[in-house]
Amino acid sequence: MMADATAPTDELLALRERIDAVDRELLSLLNRRAGLALAVGDLKKREGSAVFRPDREAQVIAGLKAANRGPLRADNVAPIWREIMSACRSLESPTRVAFLGPAGTFSEEASLGFFGSSIERVPCGSFDEVFRVTAAGGADFGVVPIENSSEGGVARALDLFLHTPLFIIGETSLFVRHQLLRRTASLQGIEVVAAHPQALAQCHGWLSTHLPQVERRPVSSNAEGARLASLDERTAGIASARAAAEFGLHRVAEAIQDDAHNRTRFVVVTMPERHPMPQASGRDCTSLVVSVKNRPGAVHDLLVPLKNHGVSMSRFESRPARSGQWEYYFYIDIEGHPDEARVAAALAELRQACAFFKVLGTYPLDAH
C-alpha cells in the first residue's frame, strides 16, 4: 500500500505541536493582560477618567513596533495589538462607534481599523446623522472621512465641523480599492452604477472607458449602492470587498479607482466632556478652521505666525463661507500639540489675526 502523500511528516507534526503550545501560552498571557485591563478599568471608573485613550494606545503600538525584532513585520504589529486592546477595552465598557452605513462601507472598515472589532457598531444614513448621533450620546465616537488623496476634501464633513460641539481625538487612513459589484459576473446589461459621489469621481476614468453610456447615480454611501445592486441586476455598485461579501455580489471588476494609490483619511470625533484632549505623544496633529476678513494680504497673515514659531503646516484647504461676500473658511492642519510652547504661541498669535477661529482637535498621527 502506498503512503498517503498528504499525511503530515513527523517533523511537521512536531512543529505544529510547538505552535499549539505557544498558542496556549499566548492565550494565557492575553488573559493575564485582560485581567490587568479590568483592574485599570476599575481604577478609571473611580477616578472618572476616560476608558479609551488614543494617545496611550498610539504610544504602546509605537513602542512595540520599535522593539520588534522579527520575523513578524513591524506593519503587522499595529493591527494585531489594536485588536488585543479592543478586546480588553470592551471588558471595561462597550465602545459605541457611529459611521456612515450601512454595513460594508469604507467608513465601517476605518472604524474597525481604528478601534478594533470589539465595538458596538452604529451605522448612520448620512454624515449629518453621524455628527448628530455622536453629539446626542447615541454613540461614544463618530468616524467620518475628511479628505481623499485624489479628490481632496469631503465637503459635507468639513462643513459640519463649523458648528458642531464635537472635536477630533484621532485619525486613520485607509487604502481604498473600489470594486464594481453586481449580481451577475458580467459587465453586460449594466444600466446604472450607484455609489457615493466621491467614489464615482474617483472612478471617473474607468467608468468613461468601460461603461461610457451607463447612468452614474449618486447615493448616500457605497454600501447603499451595493445594496441597490443586490436588488436589481441592471444596477452595479462601487464598493469594498467587504460590501461584496455583505450583499452576496460578484466582483465584476477590481481596483477600478483611477489613482492606484487612492487613500482616504478619516477622523474620530467625540464630545469634549466625554473625552479629554489626547496628551502629547511626540507625533501629533492639531486641526483648526479659521476665517479672515476679505482684505489684501489676509491669507499671508495666517501663515506668518506659523513661520515665526517654526510650526509646520501639513494641510491648507478653503471652503466658501456661503455669505455671498466671497469669503472663505480655511481648514488648517499643523504638526504639534498645544502643550508645546512653540505651538501654543503660534496659535495665540494666529487667533489674533482671525475673524473666526476654532480648534477642531489635537490627536496622535495615524500609527498604522
Catalytic residues: 264, 266
Residues 6+ apart with CB under 8 A from 259: 149, 150, 202
The three-point CA angle 203-208-211 to 5° equals 100
- In 3D, which of 128, 135, 142 has the Cα closest to residue 99? 142
Residues 6+ apart with CB under 8 A from 361: 167, 168, 169, 267, 269, 277, 286, 287
- In 3D, which of 345, 279, 280 has the Cα closest to residue 309? 345
Residue given cell 470592551 in the structure block? 90
User: What are the residue ranges of helices labelled H in 164-285?
Assistant: 197-202, 204-210, 222-231, 241-247
- How many angstroms separate the CA atoms of 341 and 175, rounded? 35
Residue given cell 509605537 in the structure block? 62
- How many angstroms separate the CA atoms of 222 and 196, rounded? 5
Q: State the cell numbers at 130.
A: 453621524
The three-point CA angle 98-313-108 to 5° equals 15
The answer to whether the CB of 52 falls within 8 A of the CB of 275 is yes
The answer to whether the CB of 268 falls within 8 A of the CB of 365 is no
